A and B are shown apart, each in its own frame.
Chain A
Amino acid sequence: MKSKNRKFPVMAAALVLSIAFSGCSNNGGNNSTADKEANAAPAPATANAEVQGGPLTKYDPPITLTSTMNETGKETLAEGDTHANNVWTRGYEDELGIKVTYDWIVADANYNDKMNVTLASGDLPDVLKVNMVQFEQLYKAGMLQDLTEVYDQYASDLVKEYYSEEDGAALKPVTKDGKKYAMVSYGGSLDSSDMVWIRKDWLDKLGLAEPKSMQDIIKIAEAFAFNDPDGNGKKDTYGISLSKDLPINGFLLGYHAYLETWIKNDQGEIVNGTIQPEVKEGLAELQRLYKEGVIDPEFGVKDFAKQMEDVNAGKAGMFFLPQWAPFQVKDMIKKDPTVNWVPYPVQSIDDQPAKTQNHLSLGGVFAVRKGYEHPEALIKLLNFQAEKMFGESAATERAKYLNGDTGLGFQNAVVSNLPPNKNVKAQDEVEQALKTGDTSKMGLEAKLFYDDIQAYRGGDLDKWHMERIFGPLSSQGVIKYYRDNDLIVMNEFIYAPTKTMNSKSATLDKLRSETFVKIIYGSLPVDDFDKFVTNWKKLGGDEITKEVNEVVKGQ
């Protein structure tokens, strides 16, 4: 990670340079063709629209489209398929007349580096699958196609419906002056909700009630550390499991502190939650708990994997992770079915309700290279994926495209977007169906989750995680509670990182994590938080805050 951060500014600089250079050298030719196209554009565009107006109309003759791919979904390819030739690429060609080829295919971990090199070399694929930073650079360099019209004209109802969720938040980050310069993959913000995971079997053993307040949470953590919840007669358990990355959001939210989140203050200004006084209160309590021995004394040197090892070894009774936490502890249940991790909403220290802090995060940004003749092809590809997974043809074709109904084969689609917040809706249906036994009204995916849960209840321990993610007592259930009771604070800043963020974020993050770990360890007094705030502002925080306010107000 470190080396990546170090490399990045160099690459970014190289990218900017090379874009500047290509502006001098070969763009002479490109520009003139672009001009010609711009002049000639209106007529053929409308003509095209008449010929191939529909969201899924086939191109005849077929067109070609180049892009890039990460091989995240490798394991979900059907037997004999490759990324270059699989059920999706065949589908695109047979049904849409789009021949998709990949300039390169790379492991997910290396995707960004590889894309940076590609952008710098100037040899752009037709569909650019980039991150927000790269999108911003491409946009500034004027290398992206405006997609507003083709989106309005070609996007299927399904795709439009997905993008309109949450007030159309998904496309806001890629909209510039009212024009859409990219499509995105956006899963909704609800899955990022924070929650508190507690071992219910330990609660029961110690005769403790479920938490109703932050005070309860603290009492439970202390009891887990001191009252021998695993019953082995040794004091070898911790109340709270942490790692050096400080996953303490679920704790701090009890104090109404919103770490790393841009929130509106009473004056309507946008401020960073990290430097608010509420954080200090939460840290003070963590420091006290650490001193008492409630928190693993070695957390400062443990990474996430090590933290989870401790949890899986039955050493901790509480941790703070989002909805996917059950995947991390499912092996534990296979070994000992009495282990019972249960998620609870964040709890409040006072009479104000505690809220979760949610983020808008894009799974991907899909832009089109300026000068590509068929920008609408990108929209059609998205239409196609939505149709095969959730449209009318899903009932018969979903299994084929996903490599099994519950398969994750959509990862192999060249571009894909899932319905935002679909998981919490599915949970709702699952809960209803479990209550009534009536599965007839369920969506396709919800039914699959329901079947998994029935399998777990029938004794298949390998499916336990589905019960805790989608069952009545589950992480999506907690999310539903947040949603229905309006307990969500959204991060106000949903745009590409600002200039100073790019240059200073790493420094500020390091400053924060070092200071916080030291404060919890007790090697710094809690009052050093104030010093941290001053430093944070001086080291670029003020500058970033200014930029954030400008960006948000400019939208």
Chain B
Amino acid sequence: MHHTSSAYRWFLRFNYVILTVIALLCLFPIVNILAISFSSSAAVNAGSVTLWPVDFTLSSYRYMLENNQFIHSFGTSLLRVVLGVSVNLLFTILVAYPLSKEAATFRSRTAYAWIFVFTMLFGGGLIPGYLVVKEMGLLDSVWALVLPGAVPIFNVLLMLNFFRGLPKELEEAAWMDGAGHLRTLWSVYLPVSLPSIATVTLFSLVGHWNAWFDGMIYMRSPEHYPLATYLQSILQQVSVQNENVTFEQAALLNEISDRTTQASQIFLSILPILAIYPFLQRYFVHGLVVGSVKG
């Protein structure tokens, strides 16, 4: 109300214009992919598709529905996300809660915190990681995608700082009423932490959905690929242009490299994340701590 100066109105307009442009820039590739997926491959190869399908056809979607691999991978990815996000959340909360306590209550807190931060800064490397997963007998199972990243330290730090920002009075009140740590965590901390839980959920959700490299390294056959690995493999295949391509390879690529099919798969693969965003977003909008302490 108090911002009615004309400078502020100009600032607002300017803001809207910039944000609209940025939003359009983000939307453009998605719309382009969508248009390609509905176009004929001849039109796509001639580069005549931008924002609207040319020679509208559903053939790429039909082909995909017959393609077991896509559906398989989609299922693997869903399973991975459900398992992965649950495991991540469980550990994030269980690790963040004790670490959020004062050193007076939890004496070796600093030492533990450093151990966790250390793993954030230094990794064991690809080959040792592979050997560990292999020796644990996890190769080719969905757990190889879930367990190596079970404790996302960055999320832990986020959560930890959020817990520390909570009013001390909340915890004290719970103690007064005779609640132990678990009870405090479950009945007091978690209900007021929904915004940050939503945040870390989103992070690990997107992370799991998009991760492709581990799928490639740990899976023994493409039937077990998560969706991102599968997409990566079909999209990279098409890069042929050198003189070492034989007639047979060219003939084969001619059969499999169809940009319309790729586009339809890319588009379907972003749908789940697009669908989940709005549901998580409402938690970002209103924080729940407001009004929990009356004084």
Q: Is B290 on the interface with A (CB-CB < 8 A)?
A: no
B136 → chain A closest CB, angstroms: 13
Complex contact A75–B256 (CB within 8 A): yes
Complex contact B247–A309 (CB within 8 A): no
Given contacts A117-B130, A359-B244, A361-B244, contact A305 B46 (CB under 8 A): no
In-complex Cβ contact of A106 among B216, B247, B251, B255 (8 A): B216
Given contacts A324-B245, A331-B45, A332-B46, contact A109 B236 (CB under 8 A): yes
Chain B window 213-247, contacts with chain A (Cβ cutoff 8 Å), 1 for yes, 0 for no:
00011011110010001101110111101011111
Could you say which residues of chain A place their CB within 8 Å of the CB of B234? Answer: 107
Q: Is A156 on the interface with B (CB-CB < 8 A)?
A: no
CA distance A114 to B126 in the complex (A): 11
Given contacts A109-B236, A312-B47, contact A18 B252 (CB under 8 A): no
CA distance A120 to B219 in the complex (A): 16
Q: Is B42 on the interface with A (CB-CB < 8 A)?
A: yes
Given contacts A117-B130, A245-B241, A411-B252, contact A107 B247 (CB under 8 A): no
The A-B contact count (CB < 8 A) is 139
Which residue of chain B has its CB nearest to the CB of A14?
B127
Complex contact A324–B237 (CB within 8 A): no
Complex contact A105–B220 (CB within 8 A): yes
Given contacts A109-B233, A114-B216, A334-B42, contact A187 B246 (CB under 8 A): yes
CA distance A452 to B39 in the complex (A): 28
Complex contact B47–A423 (CB within 8 A): no
Could you say which residues of chain A place their CB within 8 Å of the CB of B243? Answer: 192, 194, 249, 322, 359, 361
Complex contact A331–B46 (CB within 8 A): yes
Interface size (A, Cβ < 8 Å)? 66
For B134, B236, B243, the residue with the greatest tally of chain A CB atoms inside 10 Å of its CB is B243
Could you say which residues of chain A place their CB within 8 Å of the CB of B251? Answer: 327, 408
Q: Is B48 on the interface with A (CB-CB < 8 A)?
A: yes
Chain B window 192-225, contacts with chain A (Cβ cutoff 8 Å), 1 for yes, 0 for no:
0000000000000000000000001101111001
CA distance A293 to B180 in the complex (A): 79
Q: Is B177 on the interface with A (CB-CB < 8 A)?
A: no
Which residue of chain B has its CB nearest to the CB of A406?
B251
Complex contact A324–B247 (CB within 8 A): yes
Q: Is A304 on the interface with B (CB-CB < 8 A)?
A: yes
Complex contact A107–B222 (CB within 8 A): yes
Chain A window 70-108, contacts with chain B (Cβ cutoff 8 Å), 1 for yes, 0 for no:
011111100000011000000000000000001111111
Place the interface of chain B in its size category: 35 or more
In-complex Cβ contact of A71 among B222, B238, B255 (8 A): B222
Could you say which residues of chain A place their CB within 8 Å of the CB of B225? Answer: 107
Q: Is B250 on the interface with A (CB-CB < 8 A)?
A: yes
Q: Is A306 on the interface with B (CB-CB < 8 A)?
A: yes
CA distance A14 to B129 in the complex (A): 12
Given contacts A107-B237, A309-B46, A361-B244, contact A121 B126 (CB under 8 A): no
B122 → chain A closest CB, angstroms: 15
Complex contact B45–A309 (CB within 8 A): yes
Q: Is B94 on the interface with A (CB-CB < 8 A)?
A: no
Complex contact B232–A103 (CB within 8 A): no
Chain B window 46-84, contacts with chain A (Cβ cutoff 8 Å), 1 for yes, 0 for no:
111000000000000000000000000000000000000
Which residue of chain B has its CB nearest to the CB of A83?
B221
Complex contact B252–A121 (CB within 8 A): no
B276 → chain A closest CB, angstroms: 27
What are 20 A-B residue pairs whose CB atoms fall within 8 Å in the complex?
Answer: A14-B127, A71-B222, A72-B252, A106-B219, A106-B222, A117-B217, A120-B130, A121-B130, A247-B241, A305-B238, A324-B246, A327-B250, A327-B254, A331-B45, A332-B42, A334-B42, A363-B246, A411-B248, A418-B248, A423-B247
**Closest A-B pairs by Cβ, 9 of them:** A309-B47, A107-B233, A324-B250, A109-B236, A361-B244, A104-B220, A304-B241, A312-B46, A192-B243
List residues of B whose CB falls within 8 A of some A CB: 41-42, 45-48, 125-127, 130-131, 134, 216-217, 219-222, 225, 229-230, 232-234, 236-239, 241, 243-256, 259
